[in-house]
Amino acid sequence: MKKKFVIRSINNSDQSLCVDIFQRNDKTYGFEEYRRDKETYEGWYKVNMYEQNIYQTEKEAFADACKYVYWLREITN
């Protein structure tokens, strides 16, 4: 797995869902969606498997995240 560095993290209104936009060591970008149960304090869990998608810019990664992640579309419109 290529190493990645989170450059932007967007949470939903109740802080239970998150999308991370990241950059890999090879300078490509990607995103992943996570969820957590605030009551259990057990951390974040992947919701889907988007991290394998490769984008040339942060803007492209964010635009595709908005296509796939319903709640992200709602808070960015």
Instruction: Read off the pLDDT of residues 64-75 as tens digits, 9 standing for 90 and up.
Output: 999 999 999 888
Mean pLDDT for the chain overall? 90
For residue 40, the model assigns a pLDDT of 75
| Mean pLDDT within 16-43 | 91
The two beta strands, 29-35 and 17-24, are antiparallel
| Mean pLDDT within 5-34 | 95
pLDDT at residue 1 is higher than 60 = no
Give me the residue spans of the domains in the chain: 4-76
14-22: long-range contacts at Cβ-Cβ below 8 A with a sequence spacing of 24 or more?
14/38, 17/47, 17/71, 18/44, 19/65, 19/69, 19/72, 21/58, 21/61, 21/62, 21/65, 22/51, 22/61
| Mean pLDDT within 9-34 | 95
